[in-house]
């Protein structure tokens, strides 16, 4: 890591001169100007890429966990309970004194087949209904409905060393996590049963954890068909059944295989924050066929029968018995992509032992500011990349031990026990760390927190660089 930062720093010495080329190219575009001295550039068109966004202060976070409580989640919820301890501990460590609130809902919504719990406390029914977007309240304890630092033991109990048994495994098989999320954050629940969670100026984090497929909205599919049941959710998500039909032959209503568009969930979440960039982040922990290529996670069938099973996307490590696999969920992946993978959208596999333990995964690091930028276009030369914070150029170097962004001037800088290192480095497409970024990725020094450049104030961030219009990926 240090050598990579150092090599990028050597190139930074050339940056002052090459930025003049950036300005010159801005006037040449889109005419593909060049000169005899720049022969390698001739014959191409160029694009001046300019990206601008604003990052809110990282002082308040509202975290909603949407957790699958269907029968197949038994083994996964055991792993989830083990993961919750590290999640809470790292959350408190990474956020310092920042304020966070957390709540949990199931993926179940009341429907013709999935009835409410009628006040009971069996199986998944840990509150009056247990489903339909109501926050789980730990067997009727209203003080655990919304968790903060003060009652974090509602999620994880230090004395016993294990997480609470929140959800059970007998919830609705027709998983509608996205709809449950919307119900939880909408009236009437958000102002009554779920009151005290959603705040206007807090960054909203939604983490959906499921081993099945999102089934859209209530009424999208016909429920309770013999030999089909919740598999019809996969058929509707794909848009065509295993037999090639567009509705199930035994469906008396002949409902077309279709689900409410995922874009509705994106628009709903963004509307909660008036479209402010960075105020909403979405993470999906679901079945993935290939964590390095999300496009490989697709819905496939075992055979051509009208009630065929769906091919699992992955299998839990060291798992024995039933329910060790996870199905693909392209809908959740699509929603994460809408938020921008690696920035405000995250996806990871359910088939692992710790759901929240990795810098590249949707754990505590994901709820803070982005540490990396995924580029759509590949820079012509990383030396042409220019970044600004609140109108001022991002310094080429920063101290490695500072609490936040502290520019420094090179080898002779006063960084105390730390070092003066380049503020960022560029990874080209093909690097093992670059996932779903056709233009490569920019990684910041860990000490640079874009949400805390000026405490209590939002940060305006600008990125400008030159890319090939034709021939760049």
Percentage of residues in the chain with pLDDT exceeding 70? 71
- Which of these three, 336, 367, 398, is where a domain ends? 367
**Within-domain flag for 473:** no
The residue behind tokens 């798992």 is: 319
pLDDT of residue 185: 97
Q: How far is CA 74 from the centre of its chain?
A: 24
pLDDT of residue 20: 32
What region does 144 belong to: left with phi over 0, alpha with psi -120 to 50, or beta?
Answer: alpha
The yes-or-no verdict on residue 310 having pLDDT over 60 is: yes
**Within-domain flag for 13:** no
pLDDT of residue 37: 32
For the segment 89-114, what is each residue's pLDDT rounded down to a tens digit?
A: 666 655 555 578 889 888 989 888 88
Between residues 411 and 297, the one the model is more confident about: 297
- Through-space distance between the first and last CA atoms of the chain, rounded to whole angstroms: 25
DSSP per residue, 109-126:
---SSS---TT--STT-S
For the segment 113-165, what is each residue's pLDDT rounded down to a tens digit?
A: 887 554 444 444 444 445 789 888 765 567 778 888 787 777 665 555 444 44
pTM value is 0.69
103 and 145 housed in the same domain: yes
pLDDT of residue 218: 93
Q: What is the mean pLDDT of the chain?
A: 77
65 and 49 housed in the same domain: no
**Within-domain flag for 7:** no
**Within-domain flag for 236:** yes
Query: 45 with 416: CB under 8 angstroms?
Result: no
- Most confidently modeled range among 65-69, 82-86, 129-133, 320-324: 65-69
25 and 46 housed in the same domain: yes
In the three-class reduction of DSSP (H, G, I as helix; E, B as strand; rest coil), residue 66 is classed as strand
**Within-domain flag for 409:** yes
pLDDT of residue 128: 46
Between residues 416 and 254, the one the model is more confident about: 254
157 and 193 housed in the same domain: yes
357 and 389 housed in the same domain: no
- Provide the residue range defining the domain that includes 464: 20-55+380-468
86 and 233 housed in the same domain: yes
pLDDT of residue 434: 82
Query: 139 with 121: CB under 8 angstroms?
Result: yes
191 and 306 housed in the same domain: yes
75 and 164 housed in the same domain: yes
Which pLDDT band, with edges at 50, 70 and 90, does 74 fall under? Answer: confident
The yes-or-no verdict on residue 443 having pLDDT over 60 is: yes
Distance set, CA 185 to CA 62, 178, 269, 284 (Å): 11, 11, 9, 18
pLDDT of residue 160: 52
pLDDT of residue 177: 95
Q: What is the CATH number of the domain that holds 115?
A: 3.40.50.410
Overall domain count for the chain: 2
What's the DSSP call for residue 313?
A: S
**Within-domain flag for 11:** no
322 and 439 housed in the same domain: no
Between residues 245 and 73, the one the model is more confident about: 245
Mean per-residue pLDDT for 62-84?
Answer: 80
- Which of these three, 343, 367, 391, is where a domain ends? 367
211 and 189 housed in the same domain: yes
DSSP per residue, 79-106:
HHHHHHHHHHHHHHHHHTT-EEEEEEEE
What's the rounded Cα separation, in Å, for the pair 269 and 205? 10
35 and 138 housed in the same domain: no
**Within-domain flag for 6:** no
Between residues 18 and 171, the one the model is more confident about: 171
- Which of these three, 339, 367, 395, is where a domain ends? 367
Q: Dihedral angle at the C-alpha atoms of 309, 166, 336, 193, nearest 10 degrees? A: 120
In the three-class reduction of DSSP (H, G, I as helix; E, B as strand; rest coil), residue 308 is classed as coil
**Within-domain flag for 374:** no
Mean per-residue pLDDT for 46-67?
Answer: 80
The yes-or-no verdict on residue 381 having pLDDT over 60 is: yes
pLDDT of residue 197: 94
Distance set, CA 24 to CA 19, 256, 275, 396, 441 (Å): 9, 55, 34, 22, 25
Q: Which two tokens stand for residue 439?
A: 């233009």
244 and 144 housed in the same domain: yes
């Amino acid at each position: 890591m240090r050598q990579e930062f150092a090599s990028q720093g050597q190139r930074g010495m050339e940056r002052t001169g090459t930025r003049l080329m950036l300005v010159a190219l801005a006037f040449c575009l889109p005419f593909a100007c060049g000169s005899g001295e720049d022969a390698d550039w001739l014959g191409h068109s160029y694009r001046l890429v300019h990206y601008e966004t604003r990052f809110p202060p990282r002082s308040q976070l509202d975290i909603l966990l949407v957790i699958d409580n269907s029968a197949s989640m038994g083994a996964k919820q055991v792993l989830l309970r083990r993961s919750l301890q590290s999640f809470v501990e790292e959350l408190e460590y990474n956020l310092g004194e920042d304020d966070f609130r957390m709540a949990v809902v199931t993926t179940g919504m009341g429907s013709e087949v999935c009835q409410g719990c009628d006040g009971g406390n069996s199986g998944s029914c840990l509150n009056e209904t247990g489903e339909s977007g109501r926050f789980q309240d730990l067997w009727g304890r209203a003080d655990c409905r919304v968790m903060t630092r003060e009652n974090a033991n509602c999620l994880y109990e230090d004395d016993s060393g294990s997480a609470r048994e929140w959800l059970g495994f007998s919830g609705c098989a027709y998983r509608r996590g996205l709809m449950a999320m919307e119900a939880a954050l909408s009236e009437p629940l958000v102002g009554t049963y779920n009151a005290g969670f959603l705040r206007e100026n807090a960054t909203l984090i939604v983490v959906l954890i499921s081993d099945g497929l999102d089934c859209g909205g209530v009424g999208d599919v016909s429920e309770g068909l013999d030999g089909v049941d919740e598999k019809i959710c996969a058929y509707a998500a794909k848009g065509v059944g295993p037999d090639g039909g567009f509705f199930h032959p035994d469906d008396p209503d002949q409902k077309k295989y279709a689900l409410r568009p995922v874009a509705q969930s994106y628009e709903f979440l963004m509307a909660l924050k008036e479209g402010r960039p960075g105020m909403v982040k979405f993470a999906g922990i679901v079945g993935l066929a290939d964590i390095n290529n999300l496009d490989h996670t697709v819905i496939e069938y075992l055979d051509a029968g009208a009630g065929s099973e769906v091919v699992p996307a992955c299998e839990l490590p060291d798992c024995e018995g039933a329910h060790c696999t996870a199905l693909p969920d392209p809908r959740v992946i699509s929603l994460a992509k809408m938020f921008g993978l690696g920035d405000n959208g995250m996806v990871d596999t359910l088939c692992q032992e710790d759901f929240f333990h990795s810098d590249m995964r949707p754990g505590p690091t994901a709820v803070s500011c982005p540490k990396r930028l995924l580029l759509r276009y590949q820079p012509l030369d990383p030396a042409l990349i220019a970044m600004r914070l609140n109108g001022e150029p991002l310094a080429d170097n920063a101290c490695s031990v500072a609490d936040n962004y502290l520019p420094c001037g090179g080898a002779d800088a006063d960084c105390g026990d730390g070092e003066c290192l380049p503020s960022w480095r560029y990874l080209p497409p093909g690097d093992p760390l670059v996932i779903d970024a056709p233009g490569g990725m920019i990684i910041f020094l860990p000490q640079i927190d874009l949400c805390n450049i000026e405490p209590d104030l939002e940060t305006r961030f600008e990125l400008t660089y030159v890319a090939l219009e034709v021939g760049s990926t």
